[in-house]
Each structure stands twice: as structure tokens, then as C-alpha cells.
């Protein structure tokens, strides 16, 4: 039996084209491996279908899943409310919320257009805050629940050319602490994971285009390697099962990079 048998998990931004290769999708699989019934969302129906099909192989759903209820933009609050109503009506109370939605754009800080600021903050921060509120109210009413927000190495230290992204992830880190401060008394656990440099669809092109910059990153990382999705497994399960005495933390999973004074950019 797994540590999460009988639990229902909602993973916003938890899909990938092949059902696995993205941070949110990987976290969805880790939860399913421990017995949770996991529901990943995305605005891309093909990704939702691929990920649900992959998860079915690990933890079969007790009844057919309405993919349309999981297909929406993370900023669509009405769709998220409808998704929560559907899941709780058909499968049971949401025990675990993972916020893994995110977009990235690279600019010199002085050149970031207003619409890019609005898009990145809207997806990476505001939609996370609203998802926490929407699901958090339900959890508060039950006196239990785990929320895991995906922050970033950029929430802990500055990295050039991603000012909007870093600002949004810094906001996620602060939001996590604020919610824990208020909600721990109700039995909720609100924490965050800050992944280091793990190749994903968001950053893979940059890593391939700038091998020298990648070399310097690795040189500045005590583990001297890129991260892989599997590195996030233990942190994900820990934060999905901890007591409410573990609250408000942002857990770096970064090969030790966040504790090193010097980083070569």
C-alpha cells in the first residue's frame, strides 16, 4: 500500500505531451505511485488525455474521467471552481493541491513589455494564489489538506534575463509563507518546492543554445550535474504527507546551488 492510498490530488499544470516529461506531470506520477487518485489540468486537451492515460496505468480511476473538466487555462477561475465541484462530486474531497503552472520569457529587464509582465504574473503567481484560495477554502472546511506550490531557484536567488519569471516565483515563495501563517491552525500544510536546473520544455532550447552558460551553471552547482525529474520525488511525497508542523517552507531541490555564494552566469 502507498502512503497516499485513498487521497485525491489536483495538479494544476500537471500534464505533458507524453504524459510525463514536465515537472508538474512528473509530480502527478509520483503522487499516483503512492496510491493517490491524481487529476492533472492543462489548457491543452491532448496533454490532459496523454497524462490521464499514463496515470491510469499506475492508479486506475474508479470511473471514466471527463477530460473537459480538466481542460482549462489556469487563470480561468470559473473553470477551476467547476473542476473542483466535479472532482469532489464524483471522486471525493481534494486532499492535495499542486500548483505547477508556469510560463517563461527571456528579456533584458529594461525591455520586458507590459503584456509579458501581465502574462507571467497572471499565470505564475495570480493563478496560483487563486487556486490556493479556491481549494484552500474547501480544505479549511474539512480541517485538513496539503498544498504544494512549485517555486523555482529564481525565487531564492537572481538569474539574469528572467526578471518577470523570477519576480513571479519570488511571489509564490512569499505567498506560500503567508498562507501557511494563516492556515496551519486549520490543519493545512502549505509548502513549496524550488527546483534547480532541470531540463524542461520551458528551458531546453536555451540550454541547447548556450552550452557555455550551462557549463558555468554546472561548475557552480555542488552536485555538478543537471537535475532530473526523479530528484523531485522524495520532496513531493514528503510535502504531500507531512504534518502541519511542517509549514511555509520553500524546499530547494537544486544540487546545493542555493547555498553557494558564487554562481557563474
> Which residues carry out catalysis?
165
Residue 251's nearest CA partner among 263, 264, 234 is: 234
- CB 203: neighbour CB atoms within 10 A? 14
Cell 471552481 found at: 81
**Phi-psi sector, 60: left (phi>0), alpha (psi -120 to 50), beta:** beta
Q: Which residues contact 144 (CB under 8 A, 6 or more apart)?
A: 95, 187, 188
Burial class (CB in 10 A: 0-12, 13-18, 19+), 57: exposed
CB-based contact 135:128 (threshold 8 Å)? no
Amino acid at each position: 500500500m502507498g502512503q497516499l492510498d485513498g487521497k485525491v490530488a489536483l495538479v494544476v499544470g500537471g500534464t505533458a505531451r507524453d504524459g510525463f516529461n514536465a515537472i508538474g506531470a512528473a509530480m502527478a506520477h509520483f503522487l499516483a505511485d503512492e496510491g493517490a487518485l491524481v487529476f492533472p489540468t492543462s489548457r491543452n486537451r491532448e496533454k490532459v488525455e496523454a497524462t490521464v492515460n499514463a496515470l491510469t496505468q499506475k492508479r486506475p480511476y474508479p470511473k471514466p474521467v471527463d477530460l473537459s473538466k480538466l481542460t482549462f487555462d489556469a487563470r480561468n477561475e470559473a473553470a477551476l471552481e467547476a473542476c473542483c465541484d466535479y472532482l469532489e462530486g464524483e471522486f471525493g474531497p481534494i486532499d492535495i493541491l499542486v500548483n505547477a503552472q508556469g510560463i517563461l520569457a527571456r528579456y533584458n529587464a529594461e525591455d520586458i513589455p507590459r503584456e509579458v509582465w501581465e502574462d507571467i504574473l497572471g499565470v505564475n503567481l495570480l493563478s496560483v494564489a487563486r487556486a490556493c484560495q479556491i481549494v484552500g477554502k474547501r480544505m479549511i472546511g474539512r480541517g485538513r489538506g496539503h498544498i504544494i506550490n512549485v517555486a523555482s531557484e529564481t525565487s531564492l536567488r537572481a538569474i539574469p534575463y528572467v526578471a518577470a519569471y523570477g519576480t513571479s516565483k519570488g511571489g509564490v515563495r512569499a505567498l506560500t509563507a503567508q498562507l501557511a501563517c494563516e492556515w496551519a491552525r486549520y490543519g493545512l500544510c502549505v509548502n513549496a518546492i524550488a527546483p534547480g536546473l532541470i531540463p524542461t520544455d520551458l528551458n531546453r532550447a536555451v540550454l541547447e543554445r548556450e552550452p557555455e552558460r550551462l557549463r558555468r551553471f554546472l561548475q557552480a552547482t555542488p552536485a555538478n550535474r543537471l537535475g532530473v525529474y526523479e530528484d523531485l520525488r522524495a520532496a513531493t511525497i514528503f510535502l504531500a504527507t507531512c504534518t502541519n508542523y511542517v509549514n511555509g517552507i520553500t524546499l530547494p531541490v537544486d544540487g546545493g546551488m542555493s547555498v553557494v555564494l558564487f554562481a557563474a552566469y
